[in-house]
Amino acid sequence: MVFKLNSQLLSRIASGNGHGEDSPYFDGWKAYEADPHHPTENPNGVIQMGLAENQLCFDLIQDWLKKNPKASICTPEGLNEFREIAIFQDYHGLPEFRNAVANFMGKVRGNRVTYDPDRIVMSGGATGAHETIAFCLADPGEAFLVPTPYYPGFDRDLRWRTGIKLIPVDSDSSNNFKVTIEALENAYEMAQLDNIKVKGLLITNPSNPLGTILDRETLRSIVRFINEKNIHLVCDEIYAATVFSQPDFISVAEILQEDIECNLDLVHVVYSLSKDMGFPGLRVGIIYSYNDAVVSCARKMSSFGLVSTQTQYLVASMLSDNEFVEKFIRESKRRLAARYRVFTHGLDQAGIKCLKTSNAGLFLWMDLSGLLKEQTVEAEMELWRVIIHEVKLNVSPGCSFHCLKPGWFRVCFANMDDQTMHVALSRIKTFVNKEADTKKKPKKSLRWQGSLKLLNTPRIYDDFINSPHSPIPHSPLVRARN
Amino acid sequence: MTRSRLSRTRSSQHDEETKQTTTTSSGGTAMRVIVPLQGVVQGRGGLFLGSVIPCALFYFLQLYLRGKHCDDPTDQGDPTRDPNAPSPSGSAGKLAELPGFPRNSSRNLLSPRSPRGPVLLSGRVNEMVKSGDSPYYAGLKKVLEDPYDEAGNPNGVIQLGMDENKLTLDLVEEWFVENAKEAILGGGGGGGGEGEELSISGIAAYQPSHGLMQLKVAVAGFMSQIMENAVSFDPSLMLLTAGANPAIEMLSFCLADSGNAFLVPTPYYPGFDRDVKWRTGVEIIPVPCRSADNFSLSIAALDRGFNQAKKRGLKVRGILISNPSNPVGNLLNRETLYSLLDFAREKNIHIVSNEIFAGSTHGSEEFVSMAELIDSNYLDRDRVHIVYDLSKDLSLSGFRVGVIYSFNNNVLAAAKKLTRFSSVSAPSQHLLVSLLSDTEFVQKSIKNNRVRLQKMYVAFVAGLKQLGIECAKSNGGFSCWADMSELINSYSVKGELELWDKLLNTAKLNVTPGSCCHCIEPGWFQFFFANLTERDIPVVMNRILKIVSVCKASS
């Protein structure tokens, strides 16, 4: 007799597609994974520009590790600490880790604010931090407002297991996608009419994918808005240290110090070292909440995503080295600025415009609406397929960020070496020139029908791509040096 | 319909519902209809037809109420609902409230929203705040405030409530002295300038969230060694997570919907209440085991639990067993495992086998992993999932490496996506790859771990016996399970907690009371001994002795 388990015996979470990975954002990864670029072995492969990873300063970190072998606790120099660290499993985290992170967070914000180490809660990356916050603040069916365009992973991180909803708040390309109170009010009203209970507002500052930061006035009005509505404010500040040119980054913490009426119990910050330090592999996510109940609840939840104590110790040692941290932040910004300059200049030569107001992040928000056959999402997807398969660049289309205006693409530029970047630039230039030529000629047949089908088949590539963030152990930079 | 299920779905509306009684006198009646309806509507499949009629009735009631309250300002949005309103995100359709139209509009109808009020958090937080600190957290706090130290703080609280193992820490430490230099940056081996550059990317950059393949291979080898090569583990069926807690939670999320249930033999590890239930909304049906048969599991009890759940309208999705069990420490023999498989097949449910103490058996009995049975019984492997924790057996609890080993590809695929919420940090993975690849060390460590555990176990149990306290027979784990029912004043949970309080505050011993483990017989306590040294045992025994004499004198 053959007994087969009924597939319905899995939960809705396991069998549904709440993971949100059936999106072009993730499909692009598959195209990259199937044919990754390598300068010598596969010069015509797809270049990964969909990965917001900061690899420009790995050398600094490596130098520090070499100079501080003690920090890894597992070397003879660091062995004094070994016993304590190896066995430690308190979910509060090592005190030195919390102190160092609080100190670092203040430093990144120009020492204009201080953070209380006792409010630092750790989690498995910003991914885990967002989910934990969602679990703490809302029950299934309740909603968060999120200004668009926003990071596609939110659809998974905040919604999948928690059962909460995200309500996109529209923005407009005509004012550079700025968050406006009118749009927030409007979305809030609409949700009310729809009988959806709005529990909070999630803002990303600096924004992913825009690379813009919120100015003081906008932040103040956002704080007033949430206070007036009595809803939570979750600030995702994971790109805080990537602000590479003026104006300076302003954290919500700074606004709260000012003369403004706000119930502090409503404000929560999500932070991580993945972007600012370029440490995604360490999986260090941080929740900083001004609400005691949330701190204590999130802390109990942190047992679902504790950072290994060895890593905690390593991070604590590194971040307590003030001299190193300051040098690192300075140098990282300098390199990001330089890369940004070169890249935007190159695009400019090709006649491609990017969002002008951006001065942060590891990516550009590129406007290709001029290349669209018509101003629709379908045309955007068509162009995106051409870019993936013909130009061989994995960029992420605006629709995956819930951007209403078609034709915008996010292009990551910090996860590759100079050489790869130049290859990418020249591919774009060639493509744009060719497009300009063919525009005069009649339309050609739809060549990418076949590939389209492939992308829509069930998740056959799942084994290769198991994560939107992290499917690939080898980044282009690594390959380049290989 | 179960009460708890209902209270979950209702919790978010609780405030509004209380206001409702002031709004309309028929509110109470409405709720009497709504409550059973919600249960029906939320997916007890076969009951659909039965729900149509009450639904209609309820709808008319709505119309009636709406007519009565047409002057209510919050009501006005409803009929003029904007079709262009921001649509709920894609997952909305999958949410439980799909058939919940009546519920939504009733909420709107009956509860005038006030924009100002207390800060609203989720039901999970409220639940936690309301229940206060369990003895587990209270004890932990005490230890943190005033930890025992032989020289520095001899009157401090001794930690006997933490499942940590320090017995082989020296071996691991020794290994690091000799080998760790290259382990941290070494990664895939091979020195040289280029290799080093690679390794920093290998640590800092994004890694597969479910663990490095090299580590999976190493863990598979380690697990086989623990089971004396009776089983070989396939790394491709393995996912690594940040500890066993998220591993169990992920399986709970994958195998059961909110409101479904798992059968769990009691006494069980108190953390299951958090890992299985808290965020998932899954229920636990305790299946009581008794001291009379050394707390061993009987299929008859499982069957009773299953039927009980069915009567309560709960859908049982699986059994969660711990082998070696925690807190008792007994092993499930081959026969029981086979009958468990038969039971699961008959009821068509899953088995989650929690084997985190597999490498920490110390008796003469043979440990049999669920995986061993599955090897030869491959037709039905889809329902079996194993949880393991690497850090426990290696004395590296801070490293947090849990393992999901499942024979079900769908579960693996879903859990793989879930691992990104709790993955193991890369430096620790690299270090463990080096550590586990040293077979000589691994063998030595496993052997020593068992020998030392046994020694401590024997010494601890003998110490208790001298005080007249008997322990249940145990063959694994870091603790012993002691019967102190003769020392409690009233044979009840209250009596047990009084004794626990004395142990914590007078004797300064943090132990786990049996009620935390849902033991139905009061008076049992769990003592973890693997984080003690042999010198600590007399200190602990002296402190217990004081309590014993006080209790004996007062009775």
pLDDT the model gives residue B131 = 66
The alpha carbon of residue A439 is apart from the nearest alpha carbon of chain B, in Å, by 36
Q: What is the mean pLDDT of residues B279-303?
A: 94
Examine the pLDDT at B92 and tell me if it is beyond 90.
Answer: no
* CB-based contacts of B357, cutoff 8 Å, min separation 6: B322, B324, B326, B329, B392, B393, B476, B477, B478
pLDDT the model gives residue A422 = 93
pLDDT in tens, B14-45: 444 444 433 334 444 444 544 444 544 454 45
The alpha carbon of residue A294 is apart from the nearest alpha carbon of chain B, in Å, by 7
Q: What is the mean pLDDT of residues A381-391?
A: 93
Average pLDDT of chain A is 86
pLDDT in tens, A218-269: 999 999 999 999 999 999 999 999 999 999 999 999 999 998 899 999 999 9
B176 and A75 within 8 Å at the Cβ level: the answer is: yes
Tell me whether residue B166 is exposed, middle or buried, using C-beta atoms within 10 angstroms of its C-beta: 0 to 12, 13 to 18, 19 or more: middle
pLDDT the model gives residue B82 = 38
Q: Where are the alpha helices (DSSP H) in A230-358?
A: 252-257, 292-301, 309-320, 322-349
pLDDT the model gives residue B60 = 61
Task: Return the closest-CA partner of residue B478 out of B340, B350, B372, B361.
Answer: B361
Higher-confidence residue: B175 or B404?
B404
Backbone dihedral region for residue A174 (phi beyond 0: left; psi -120 to 50: alpha; all else: beta): alpha
Joined tokens for residue A399: 């629709």
Q: What is the mean pLDDT of residues B180-207?
A: 52
Joined tokens for residue A146: 């999120």
Tell me which H or E stretch contains A233. strand A232-236
Higher-confidence residue: B471 or A480?
B471
B164 and A89 within 8 Å at the Cβ level: the answer is: yes
Examine the pLDDT at A469 and tell me if it is beyond 80.
Answer: no
The alpha carbon of residue B323 is apart from the nearest alpha carbon of chain A, in Å, by 22
β-partners of residue A239 are: none
Give me the residue from B196, B395, B420 closest to A127, CB to CB. Answer: B420
Contacts of A238 in chain B (CB under 8 A): none
The alpha carbon of residue A236 is apart from the nearest alpha carbon of chain B, in Å, by 16
B368 confidence band (pLDDT: 50, 70, 90): very high
Residue found by looking up tokens 């009775």 in the block? B555
pLDDT in tens, B477-488: 999 999 999 999
pLDDT the model gives residue B181 = 60
Examine the pLDDT at A408 and tell me if it is beyond 90.
Answer: yes
β-partners of residue B513 are: B525
Strands A363-367 and A408-412: antiparallel
Handedness of CA A441, A442, A447, A449 (dihedral sign): positive
Average pLDDT of chain B is 79
Q: What percent of chain B stands above pLDDT 70?
A: 73
A2 confidence band (pLDDT: 50, 70, 90): very low
A371 confidence band (pLDDT: 50, 70, 90): very high
Examine the pLDDT at A186 and tell me if it is beyond 60.
Answer: yes
CB atoms within 10 A of CB B153: 11
The rounded distance, in Å, linking the Cα atoms of B24 and B29 is 10
* CB-based contacts of B52, cutoff 8 Å, min separation 6: none
Task: Return the closest-CA partner of residue A50 out of A379, A457, A320, A412.
Answer: A412
Examine the pLDDT at A134 and tell me if it is beyond 80.
Answer: yes
A364 confidence band (pLDDT: 50, 70, 90): very high
Give me the residue from B125, B197, B410 closest to A136, CB to CB. Answer: B125
pLDDT the model gives residue B389 = 92
Examine the pLDDT at A474 and tell me if it is beyond 50.
Answer: no
**HSE-CB for A243 with a 13 A CA cutoff:** 21
pLDDT the model gives residue B26 = 43
pLDDT in tens, A34-78: 899 988 899 999 999 998 888 888 888 888 888 887 776 666 666
Give me the residue from B86, B172, B399 closest to A308, CB to CB. Answer: B399
pLDDT in tens, B254-264: 999 999 999 99
pLDDT the model gives residue A230 = 95
Question: Mutate which of B89, B260, B404 to disrupt the A interface (most A C-beta within 10 Å)?
Answer: B89
Q: What is the mean pLDDT of residues A459-475?
A: 38
Q: What DSSP designation does B361 have?
A: B
Q: 3-class secondary structure for B199-248?
A: HHHHHHCCCCCCCCHHHHHHHHHHHHHHCCCCCCCCHHHEEEECCHHHHH
Lowest pLDDT segment from A374-378, A417-421, B133-137, B161-165: B133-137
Q: What percent of chain B stands above pLDDT 90?
A: 52
A187 and B86 within 8 Å at the Cβ level: the answer is: yes
The answer, yes or no, to whether the previous bond of A149 is cis (omega within 30 of 0) is yes
A473 and B115 within 8 Å at the Cβ level: the answer is: no
Give me the residue from B94, B169, B425 closest to A87, CB to CB. Answer: B169
Examine the pLDDT at A449 and tell me if it is beyond 90.
Answer: no
Lowest pLDDT segment from A137-141, A234-238, B23-27, B329-333: B23-27
Give the start-end residues of each E strand in B348-432.
Answer: 350-354, 384-389, 402-406
The alpha carbon of residue A384 is apart from the nearest alpha carbon of chain B, in Å, by 22
The rounded distance, in Å, linking the Cα atoms of A378 and A435 is 18
Strands A143-147 and A165-169: parallel
Give me the residue from A136, A282, A303 closest to B427, CB to CB. Answer: A282
B254 and A6 within 8 Å at the Cβ level: the answer is: no
Task: Return the closest-CA partner of residue B161 out of B527, B533, B486.
Answer: B527
pLDDT in tens, B387-410: 999 888 888 888 889 999 999 999
The rounded distance, in Å, linking the Cα atoms of A202 and A270 is 10
B336 confidence band (pLDDT: 50, 70, 90): very high
**HSE-CB for B336 with a 13 A CA cutoff:** 19
The answer, yes or no, to whether the previous bond of B522 is cis (omega within 30 of 0) is no
B88 and A7 within 8 Å at the Cβ level: the answer is: no
3 state SS of B481: strand
Cα angle B88-B93-B99, degrees, rounded to a multiple of 5: 110
pLDDT in tens, A260-310: 899 999 999 999 999 998 888 888 999 999 999 999 999 989 989 888 888
pLDDT in tens, B218-262: 999 999 999 888 889 999 999 999 999 999 999 999 999 999 999
A228 and B196 within 8 Å at the Cβ level: the answer is: no
Higher-confidence residue: A316 or A81?
A316
pTM assigned to the model: 0.81
Examine the pLDDT at B11 and tell me if it is beyond 50.
Answer: no
Active site residues of A: 151, 236, 238, 275
pLDDT the model gives residue A368 = 94
Higher-confidence residue: A150 or A1?
A150
Strands B524-528 and B512-513: antiparallel
A165 and B91 within 8 Å at the Cβ level: the answer is: yes
